[in-house]
Structure 1
Amino acid sequence: MSVGDALLVVLALGVALLLGRGSHSLVAALLVASALAVSAVLFLPTAMLAGLVGMERVHGLYDLTRATPLDPPEWVHLIVFAWLGFLLWLARRDIRNWRGVALVAALGVAAELSQWLTDGRQPKVEDAALNVLGGLTGVLLGLVCCVVAARVRGASGESSG
């Protein structure tokens, strides 16, 4: 393990634990696991990830996304950060504000910049933009869920009162 690899492990663990801090233990575990999974997808060598998933599935993903403007790796950036943004917005009431939005955007950029520490990976502005877009999409989805849940609670309170 190189110094860069060790630094990435420490950073990934630190960020994962920071994201889970202050949450219910089950939610914290989900946040930590999700953050570590995102780190693995972004920092492990592409060939290793393809080997874990299986080349037939990789080809299937390319077939599935052929009609879209994005390739599977780009969709992965969007989806994993949308999940992270969504989960953070729902799980951490203390950052359901501009700080949460800024945190998700900063995580998207920082995750891409961290690829300088990995062998065989290069940070790309386009990938950082997809990370941020995915994260903000997840935050927006989380916000919609919170608004709908509040209205449902309000409506059920009015009907029972």
Structure 2
Amino acid sequence: MTGADVLLAILALGVTMLLARGSHPVVAVLLVVSALAVSAMLFLPTAMLGDWFGMDRVHRLYGLTRATPLDPPEWIHLFAFAWLGLLVWLARKDVRNGWGVLLVAAFGVAAELSQWLTDGREPKLEDAVLNVVGGLAGVLLAHLCCMVAARIYRDTARDEAGKD
């Protein structure tokens, strides 16, 4: 493990702890674990990830995505950042605004740019775009979930008030 790897691990842990601050403990744990898993996916050499998950699973993923315009690594970027965008939006009420959208987009770009610090990884513009699009899709999904939950809460409160 190089000094750059240690620096990236410390940065990833620090950012996730900062994001998790003030959120529900379950959501905070989900956010920290998810962000660290995405960091590992971005910074560990591809061959090592293939060894961990098994090449048969990797080949199965390629088989599943053969009919789509994206390869498995691209889908992984998209879904991983959609999950992170959703968690950030749900975890932190104070960033449920334009700054939160910018924050999620900045994380997508920063995650890709930080690959310059790792051996065997190379940042790509396409991956940064997929990270940002995935993160914003997660934010949109979380926003829709919040709207639906607020409506249900409002309707339930109105029904309860009408019974009295």
**Which bracket does the TM-score occupy, shorter chain normalised?**
over 0.9
How big is the alpha-carbon RMSD for the aligned residues of Structure 1 and Structure 2?
Answer: 0.8
Alignment of 1:116-135 (within 5 A): 116-135=116-135
| Larger CA deviation: 138-147 vs 20-29 | 20-29
Query: What is the CA deviation profile of residues 27-63 of structure 1, one whole-angstrom value per residue up to 9, with x for unaligned ones?
Result: 2111111110110111111011111111000000000
Letter in structure 2 aligned against 1:156:
T
Alignment of 1:12-161 (within 5 A): 12-161=12-161
Post-superposition shift, 1:160? 1.7
Letter in structure 2 aligned against 1:71:
D
Gaps of at least 5 residues in structure 2 are none
Letter in structure 1 aligned against 2:131:
N
**Distance in 2 of aligned mates of 1:56 and 1:118:** 26
Post-superposition shift, 1:24? 2.1
Structure number, greater radius of gyration: 2
Q: How many residues of Structure 1 are paired with residues of Structure 2 in the alignment? A: 161
Post-superposition shift, 1:6? 1.4
Letter in structure 2 aligned against 1:158:
R
- The runs of 4+ residues in structure 1 deviating greater than 2 Å are none
Post-superposition shift, 1:126? 0.4
Post-superposition shift, 1:101? 0.4
Post-superposition shift, 1:25? 2.1
Letter in structure 1 aligned against 2:140:
L
- State TM-score, norm by structure 2: 0.96
Query: What is the CA deviation profile of residues 123-153 of structure 1, one whole-angstrom value per residue up to 9, with x for unaligned ones?
Result: 0000000000000000000000000000111
What SS does structure 2 have at the residue aligned with 1:67?
Answer: coil
What SS does structure 1 have at the residue aligned with 2:158?
Answer: helix
**Distance in 2 of aligned mates of 1:89 and 1:13:** 18
Letter in structure 1 aligned against 2:151:
R
| Larger CA deviation: 151-160 vs 61-70 | 151-160
Gaps of at least 5 residues in structure 1 are none
**Distance in 2 of aligned mates of 1:57 and 1:70:** 17
**Distance in 2 of aligned mates of 1:89 and 1:139:** 6
**Distance in 2 of aligned mates of 1:9 and 1:146:** 32
**Distance in 2 of aligned mates of 1:25 and 1:138:** 20
What SS does structure 1 have at the residue aligned with 2:10?
Answer: helix
